[in-house]
Structure 1
Amino acid sequence: MLTRVAHLLPLELKAVLERMPGSAQEQLEEIRIREDRPLEIGYAGMSRFTAADGSLRLTPEGAYRPTSDVCRKLLERMTNYSLYAMEEELRRGYITVSGGHRIGLAGRTVLDAGSVRGIRDIGAFNIRIAREVVGAASGLLPKLLDLKRRTVQSALILAPPQQGKTTLIRDVARAVSSGQWIHPAAAGWQGRKVGIVDERSEIAASVRGIPTFDVGPRTDVMDACPKAEGMMMMLRSMSPEVIIADEIGRPEDGEALREASHAGVSVIATAHAYDLADAKGRPVLRRLLEDGTFQVIVELRRTAEGIIHRVVPISLLARPAPGAAREPTSLTERTMIGSIRGESS
């Protein structure tokens, strides 16, 4: 995985990372660079500090510390030597580069009338490495099928950051578009027209409008477009049967999802929440759950055994009668079931 982002790295930083054990390089998920502070990596679900000789350690003592010159060169490379051209991305606190890799930024914000206009004096970077896992949705997709309508149900996928949500919905798009339903009752179903609204260019990793990840033969991508506007543009112009969007949370996102759902389109979206209880604490998500925009909720969690999920039909979330047994609504209340590796649930 290191090879995917090596071209972005200054030579000194690249040399340090290339000295790491091969297993760490292959399973690399994120690189955290903080000016004059210990270099940190995430791989295989773990976090380690990296020394100048490439050795990995649990504590920051003796770790390599990137200099201001290294950080300056890194910023220049990732912005293609033009901070001005990346003004909008800097305002949002991240840059998405070719390949779908997202680089989070932290530093001193520049305000305009109380709103963030950009970030200057950038001193911290988080390079999140995008990866394509064909088959990642194979254990989940059969549980999302709407057998009556011969398509997928509308689903909200919940998980904290870095649990595999984007990887999962990318493969859902590929399978649904290709007609790879992985269910005996769906044998012979045609693939569906899928519209991806890829605000951060992470799902399809489009370059000049062309997806570089396999998102399926009947998939159209609205790249680098705000989700709410993109969903409405898709509905008006591309007649999708399924719309997919990542990391919803703003009121306008909710309105667009609601509009698409009422237009007869299946919607699959992700959101940051530990579980259903957390999601209900977010006003936008709570309203979507209450008004029936989604048919199922998927709680996703990454463990040492792999990425596992739990599917909860919205119909089971109705308030139980007095004295009736309550359906668990949290991964912490019940053993998690299912796996996108294909284990039975």
Structure 2
Amino acid sequence: MLNSITELLPPHVSDFVQTFPTVDIEKLEEVRMRIGQPIECLFSSKPIYSSALFSEEDSVYFLNQLSQYSMYAFEEELQKGYITIQGGHRVGLAGKTILENGVVKTIRPVSSFNIRVARQKIGVGEKLATELYDQRMGWRNALLIGPPQTGKTTVLRDLARIVSQGTKKIPSNKVAIVDERSEIAGSINGIPQHELGTRIDVLDGCPKAEGMMMMIRSMSPHVLIVDEIGREQDAQAILEARHAGVVVMASAHGRTYEEIAKRPVFKRLLELNAFDRVIELGRVPYPGYVKRVRLANQVATG
């Protein structure tokens, strides 16, 4: 599974990553490389460092591998600050930004890389699916919340698969994914790298609000899935989807229902009954653990 990562790394970095036993590799979350610093491998939030440093030459090597020696064709990815590679893994980039008319044009030089290991956990959304599906009413609108690395995207991905494929008790439905950061489907050239079923349409790399409206108009989905909402434009698009009769499943950063209900964008969505359920996720005992499912028809106050 990590071959698509290790084959791009400088040899000594690849060797370091592959020294870990298989049982540990299965828990690998990130590989971080910073010029002048040891390589960091993050296992279940516990970092382990190499004895060797990551050099400027290593950075150039890795960039050439990522861009296939065509930095000109790589400019769009540098502008976004990340690139999705084979297998759905995402490489975040940081360094010196170059602005044009106040907008980031590129990052040159790149001094830091963060490879987030993508793992599809088949079945992680099944228990939640029974909560979100009603035999009489169908799928419920849901907002998944949690701090970073609590499995929001992983659970959304599996819910997309379940809605698309169906189960013995749940019929399959058309699903549209607006994947602005290429994390849910992990698409390469528009083709999802994860197992999502046959009734999935993905709009990759498109801003969420615009993408939601495009999908509603062009793909007639039954369920619309979008990751990490938070802007007013996102809220308006979700309300438009609801008015069009489309079920929305989304995620957002937040620790509790009460916390997000105080933010203006989410307060409005909850007041207007955009979601039927708010699901709080946690990392313990595992990422994607459902801590609490709240009815979303009453806004928390105080």
Aligned to 2:47: 48
Residues 234-275 of structure 1: per-residue CA shift (max 9 Å, x gap): 111111010001112232222211110111110001112222
* Residues 261-306 of structure 1 deviation map (CA, whole Å, 9 limit, x = unaligned): 1111100011122222442354333322232211111111111455
- Consecutive unaligned residues of structure 2, counting only runs of 5 or more, are none
Aligned to 2:158: 171
Q: Counterpart in 2 of 1:14? A: 14
Displacement of 1:318: 5.9
User: 2:270–2:297: 8 Å Cα contact kept in structure 1?
Assistant: no
1:269 maps to: 250
- CA gap of 1:91–1:281, structure 2 versus 1, over 3 A, is farther
Alpha-carbon shift at residue 66 of structure 1 (Å)? 0.8
Distance across 1 between alignment mates of 2:76 and 2:252: 22
Amino acid at match of 2:207: P
Preserved CA contact (<8 Å) 2:142 2:275: yes
Out of 282, 294, 301, the position equivalent to 1:312 is: 294
| Normalised TM-score (structure 2) | 0.92
Q: Cα RMSD (Å) of the superposition?
A: 2.0
Long gaps (5+) in structure 1: 52-62, 182-186, 320-325, 327-345
Q: Percent identity?
A: 45
TM-score if structure 1 supplies the norm length? 0.81
Deviation at 1:22, TM superposition (A): 3.0
| Contact 1:40-1:47 at 8 Å conserved across structures | no
Flag as ranges the 4+ runs of structure 1 deviating above 3 A. 280-283, 304-307, 316-319
CA contact (8 A) 1:178 1:217 kept: yes
Instruction: Letter of the 2:260 partner, please give it.
Output: A
Give the aligned partner of residue 130 of structure 2. 142
Amino acid at match of 1:178: Q
In structure 1, C-alpha distance between the alignment counterparts of 2:286 and 2:153, rounded to whole Å = 19
Once residues 174 and 133 of structure 1 are traced to their aligned partners in structure 2, the CA distance between those partners, rounded to angstroms, is 11
1:153 is aligned, of 128, 140, 150, to 140
2:189 to 188, 205, 208: 208
- The partner residue of 1:193 within 174, 177, 187 is 174
Question: Using a 3 Å threshold, how does the CA distance of structure 1 residues 252 and 98 change in structure 2: closer, same or farther?
Answer: farther
- In 1, Cα distance between equivalents of 2:106 and 2:269: 31
Contact 2:270 2:299 in 1 (8 A): no
When the two structures are aligned, how many residues end up with a matched partner? 301
- Kept in 2: contact 1:106–1:119 (CA 8 A): yes
1:233 is matched with which residue: 214, 217, 222? Answer: 214
User: Deviation per CA, 1:122-157, whole angstroms, max 9, x where unpaired?
Assistant: 1111100111111010121111123432x2111111
Q: Give the letter for the 1:96 counterpart.
A: T
Q: In the TM superposition, what whole-angstrom CA distance separates every residue of 1:65-96 from its partner, at most 9, and x where no partner exists?
A: 11111111112212222233232332222112
Determine whether 1:122 maps to 2:110: yes
Distance 2:107 2:208 in 1: 23
Counterpart amino acid of residue 46 in structure 1: S
Q: Are 1:71 and 2:59 counterparts?
A: yes
